Amino acid sequence: MNSQQIKKVGLPDKPGVYFFKMGGKVLYIGKATSLRDRVKSYFSKDLINTRGPAILDMTVKADKVDWQETDSVLEALILEANLIKKYKPKYNTKEKDNKSFNYVCITKDKLPRVLVERGRNIFSQQYPNSSRFTLKGSDTDKNLHIVSKKYKSVFGPFPNGQQLKEAMKIIRRIFPYFDNDSNKKNNREFYRQLGLVPFGEYKNNIKNLKLFFEGKKKSVILNLKKEM
């Protein structure tokens, strides 16, 4: 594709997720604050310097750009992760495997903790020195289920750790959660993190947080209305 073709596509100046495709196959998935401006940036003259030869190769091979609008950049970040997991695009995973991505994990504790983990930490806990966990494999979902001894749910992959960190700050203000990995006897720190949220309300927070990461925003809204 080229810049002239992109102008004809009519991408909106809104947040969302975009797909570069070739013959119907998804080559690359990304998120954007402005779909129009973000996709346009892939056809700048200095692309090879800013994004590298692999991404330049992707834009040359792509013959179509699709997109899905979201109500916010936060939703775009979560949708991007779910779609990367679903489609496993070649250029998202090129020279990068599951161990390099970030994941949001919910533990199996009575009061579940919500942790942001690197893939290498998750998988090495189950299979030290293993290098067989790659996003390119068709058994990626099975690989994630392997870590279920410690985690009840694992969401991701999230390509950008800093953006995920900022997103978690926002999510935590909406659904307060515990993430401290220290001794449970440290009740003062525990309740400080929770903001003295009662047990029942905390469980609901985790339930809604899980639904949100699954992309089920409507279910979250319905639950919140019931709780009002």
Res 222: pLDDT: 87
**Mean pLDDT in runs of 10 for the chain (228 residues)?**
80 96 96 96 86 90 96 95 93 67 91 89 57 41 56 91 93 88 54 66 92 92 80
Identify the H or E element spanning 162.
helix 161-174
d(CA 200, CA 149): 24
Domains and CATH numbers, the chain: 3-93 (3.40.1440.10), 98-227 (no CATH)
DSSP 35: H
d(CA 84, CA 113): 25
Is pTM beyond 0.85 here?
Answer: no
Res 189: pLDDT: 56
d(CA 76, CA 156): 13
DSSP 46-82: THHHHT-HHHHHHHHH--EEEEEE-SSHHHHHHHHHH
Res 100: pLDDT: 77
Res 129: pLDDT: 46
Res 18: pLDDT: 98
Res 147: pLDDT: 56
Which residue type, as a one-letter code, is found at position 18?
Y
d(CA 77, CA 171): 12
Query: What is the chain's Cα-based Rg?
Result: 19
**Residue 42 exposure: Cα atoms within 13 Å on the Cβ side:** 28
DSSP 157: E
Res 72: pLDDT: 94
> Locate tokens 């969401």: which residue?
155
